[in-house]
Amino acid sequence: MRSLSALNEKAALLRLLGRLDEAWDLANEATRQARFTGSREQLTACRIRRAQVLQAQGKLDDAAYELTHCVADAETHDWTHVAAFARQHRGKVHFDQGNLEDALTDFTAAVFLREKAGAPTDQLESSLIAVAVVESFIAERDQAR
């Protein structure tokens, strides 16, 4: 249970089950382990997963703050997969906050990064669907004005 991948997997499963306090504890443990024994890229990926727990807890400002640092770190070091992962999830946080333009920017960037990285089709489709959904929300909002 001490392996980084096992900690991340269990934290994700607990988050999906709504056991957010336990997910938070494991996400923090994974982040600590990555900080001391992993690479900076692994640490950034763990921080993204921890931000997902913050989002699930409704701490959207904290999640956005954490993800913004993850995006900057990943893009600075050209970790394309990690940058796409961070952009996708920051886009979800922006969407939850009602910041549709920022969400669209992040989802569009995630599409570009995933294409560049040769990501699996399901990941690319996820980003493309997110772009389409946000565009439809923006169009509805603009029509209502």
Q: What is the predicted pLDDT for the residue at 1?
A: 43
- Tally of CB atoms within 10 A around 67: 28
Q: What is the predicted pLDDT for the residue at 2?
A: 67
Among 74, 60, 51, 143, which residue's Cα sits nearest to residue 102? 60
Global confidence as pTM: 0.93
Average pLDDT over residues 3-18: 95
**Residue 27 above 70 pLDDT?**
yes
CA distances from 89 to 20, 36, 111, 126 (A): 17, 25, 12, 11
CATH class of 4-144: mainly alpha
Residues 6+ apart with CB under 8 A from 110: 84, 87, 88, 91, 127, 130
Among 58, 63, 46, 57, which residue's Cα sits nearest to residue 3? 46
Quote the mean pLDDT of the chain: 96
Summarize pLDDT for 82-138 with one digit per residue, the tens. Answer: 999 999 999 999 999 999 999 999 999 999 999 999 999 999 999 999 999 999 999
